Amino acid sequence: MLIDFKLEKLSGHATSGKVGKILKKVNDKVAIGDEILNIESKKGNVSVSSNVSGIIKSIEVNTGDTVKKGDVLAKVEGEQGATANTNSPKKPSNSGAGFNYMGGLMKPKKEDIDIDITIIGAGPGGYVAAIKAAQLGAKVALIEKENIGGTCLNWGCIPTKAFVRSASVFKDLKEADSYGLSAENVSVDINNVVNRKNEIVAQLVGGIEFLIEKNNISLFRGHAELIDSNTVFVKHGNKETTIHTKDMILATGSKSSTVPIKGVDSENVITSNEILNIKSMPKSLVIIGGGVIGMEFAFIFKNLGVDVTVVEFANSILEALDDDISSEIASVAEEKGIKVYSSSKVTEILDTENKEKIVVFSKDEKKHYVTGDKVLLAVGRQPNMDGLDLQKLGIDLNDRGRGIKVNEKMQTNIPNIYAIGDVTNIIQLAHVASHQGIVAVENILGHDATMNYDVVPSAVFTDPEIGVVGLSEKEAKKQNIKISTGVFPFEANGKALTLGESRGFAKIIKDKNTNKILGASIVGPHATDLIHELALAVKNGLKDVDIIETIHAHPTTSESIHEAALASTSLGAIHFSE
């Protein structure tokens, strides 16, 4: 049995540390209690001992790497029952500065507690719900089996955006001459890119842990099991807790989907989780899936200098967006040298003699082959309902069993059980999960809150960025809503030119008769921030004139919104004419 040997504790409240001396090597035999490595952090040093007996099969870290709690340090081939609990700090090590935290093989302690609201999963859905419930005076238990912050903080929103930033700094340095500068010998050190990402994640996770503690939320680190609609069981460290709860919120998130094709489980076929901890730069990367996650990684790795190919099943990349937005991104991708194959069905993944991957796909009834050092699977995410035994409780699922079914109050068919976030599979975004969490908590505590998905901004961190909110042109057509649009290109915006980022446009969609703003799409610099002015407009039923009469500062990219509102009228924009 291959066991992940994870970092369970750091000194004091440290959230991350650096790997110091590694005392063991691959194929060494280890017994429980053997020292494997040292971790140095600002708060002191920790000597890390094995909680496993067996043979070390791989060491997953290098001296100097930044690591945080929960990171896998080594993989050990052990026997069933070859692990000991590690959650309790132990006696100080003889180095004086640190401590050895190897736990004993003690009998689990059992306890029963009474709680108002038990929340399973501490992602942006669960932890926000927990804080809100505690603020409103409820006694709250929060259970997390892996990392506080869930997918978003550890493997999603934040890590990807740290990569986006590293990639964009690298790109700017490579293009320094276009800004009148010179930068020579610029190169990527992917280990440091990953380390920077880890430090940002650790800082944010530490912040959430602080808030959980500050709000007196009882945090349990373990896998939650549902016993009945008022009872949850969690084994954490050397304890087994039975929680008797009035209400419950399921916030167990999602996991990467896969495709049932030959070779999908082979070496160097990876998911977003793995690529965010990549140890060496691939020369070439094939991405299966041209949706949001796939396209964000396509631009990240292209900007880092990797040869990128995207294979997408749908007729275009970012198919859910309006055609003008996805085709603008497709043409920037092409200019940058990202190869995109749409309407293409991947059929198998093979290996060349020298371990390169061959992705085979069919397009126009012909077989095509593309090669890469690594293949990234970005084919969507599925609700994570593993081990919850929802059937036992009679909890209804969505159509085709994809996600937990909820009403607009986030309540399942069992009145005291609510579900929020990706596990409901309604809109898989962090801010939606958080908002759903607040709605669930307010309903549990006797307020009357409902979830409305008409005004959900979404942000896509391609290069250039995309921000969309409210009604799209595609949706208006489907629903037969009469609209008119106003479009303003960033090439006519002074700030965009100074930034050297003049691709894209801002588009406002308004009701043709009432002039009320119904939606907007922006592709261009700062689009993910700019979209919120329009979210406020849509939410509050504002009209084009409300934006037109609002003075926008010069020179800013937000002037593009002012101009798009002008462009939606018969007089047209001031600073642009076709």
Ligand X SMILES: Cc1cc2nc3c(=O)[nH]c(=O)nc-3n(C[C@H](O)[C@H](O)[C@H](O)COP(=O)(O)OP(=O)(O)OC[C@H]3O[C@@H](n4cnc5c(N)ncnc54)[C@H](O)[C@@H]3O)c2cc1C
Catalytic residue among 13, 244, 532, 554: 554
Of 531, 532, 527, give the one whose Cα is nearest residue 499: 527
Compute the least distance from the CB of residue 236 to ligand X, in Å: 10
The one-letter amino acid at 138:
A
Convert residues 231-250 into a mask of x (bound to ligand X by CB under 6 A) and - (unbound): --------------------
Question: What is d(CA 504, CA 489) in angstroms, rounded to the nearest whole number?
Answer: 6
Among 252, 303, 344, 462, binds ligand X (CB under 6 A): 252
Burial class (CB in 10 A: 0-12, 13-18, 19+), 374: buried
Convert residues 368-407 into a mask of x (bound to ligand X by CB under 6 A) and - (unbound): ----------------x--xx-------------------
Q: Of residues 440-499, which lie at the interface with ligand X (CB under 6 A)?
A: 459
Choices 183-191, 391-399, 427-435, 569-577; region in contact with ligand X by CB under 6 A: 427-435
Of 424, 406, 423, 425, give the one whose Cα is nearest residue 414: 406
Compute the least distance from the CB of residue 444 to ligand X, in Å: 17
Among 208, 433, 518, 564, binds ligand X (CB under 6 A): 433
User: If you compute the radius of gyration of the chain from its CA atoms, what whole number of angstroms results?
Assistant: 26
Residue 20's H or E segment, with its range, is strand 16-22
Residue 111's H or E segment, with its range, is strand 109-120
Number of Cβ within a 10 Å radius of residue 527: 27
Nearer to ligand X, 311 or 466 (CB): 466
β-sheet bridge partners, residue 368: 361
Choices 12-20, 277-285, 423-431, 563-571; region in contact with ligand X by CB under 6 A: 423-431
Compute the least distance from the CB of residue 142 to ligand X, in Å: 9
Choices 52-60, 130-138, 142-150, 325-333; region in contact with ligand X by CB under 6 A: 142-150
The one-letter amino acid at 402:
R
Of 508, 489, 463, 460, give the one whose Cα is nearest residue 557: 489
Question: What is d(CA 152, CA 566) in angstroms, rounded to the nearest whole number?
Answer: 37
Among 17, 282, 289, 421, binds ligand X (CB under 6 A): 421
Does the annotation mark 13 as catalytic? Answer: no
Tokens of 524: 């261009």
Q: DSSP characters for 85-140?
A: ---S--SBPTTSSSBB-PPP-PPPEEEEEEEEEEEE--STTHHHHHHHHHHTT--E
Among 223, 336, 339, 512, binds ligand X (CB under 6 A): 223
Among 121, 263, 372, 519, binds ligand X (CB under 6 A): 121
Among 20, 150, 290, 524, binds ligand X (CB under 6 A): 150
Among 16, 198, 428, 558, binds ligand X (CB under 6 A): 428
254 binds ligand X, rule: CB under 6 A: yes
Burial class (CB in 10 A: 0-12, 13-18, 19+), 148: buried
Compute the least distance from the CB of residue 214 to ligand X, in Å: 20
156 binds ligand X, rule: CB under 6 A: yes
The number of residues that bind ligand X (CB under 6 A) is: 37
Question: What is d(CA 33, CA 41) in angstroms, rounded to the nearest whole number?
Answer: 21
Nearer to ligand X, 300 or 349 (CB): 300
144 binds ligand X, rule: CB under 6 A: yes
Question: What is d(CA 303, CA 375) in angstroms, rounded to the nearest whole number?
Answer: 17
Nearer to ligand X, 322 or 422 (CB): 422
Q: Where are the beta strands (DSSP E) in 399-545?
A: 417-419, 458-460, 466-470, 483-489, 505-511, 517-523
Compute the least distance from the CB of residue 153 to ligand X, in Å: 8
Nearer to ligand X, 245 or 254 (CB): 254
* Residue labelled with tokens 């804080």: 131
Question: What is d(CA 353, CA 372) in angstroms, rounded to the nearest whole number?
Answer: 13
129 binds ligand X, rule: CB under 6 A: no
Q: DSSP characters for 214-231?
A: HTT-EEEESEEEEEETTE
β-sheet bridge partners, residue 232: 226, 243
Convert residues 260-279 into a mask of x (bound to ligand X by CB under 6 A) and - (unbound): ------------x-------
Q: Of residues 280-319, which lie at the interface with ligand X (CB under 6 A)?
A: 293
Among 119, 120, 295, 567, binds ligand X (CB under 6 A): 120
**Spatial contact of 202 and 67, defined as CB atoms under 8 Å apart:** no
- Return the active site residues: 554
Binding site for ligand X (CB under 6 A): 120-126, 143-146, 150-152, 155-157, 160, 223-224, 251-254, 272, 293, 384, 387-388, 421-422, 428-431, 433, 459
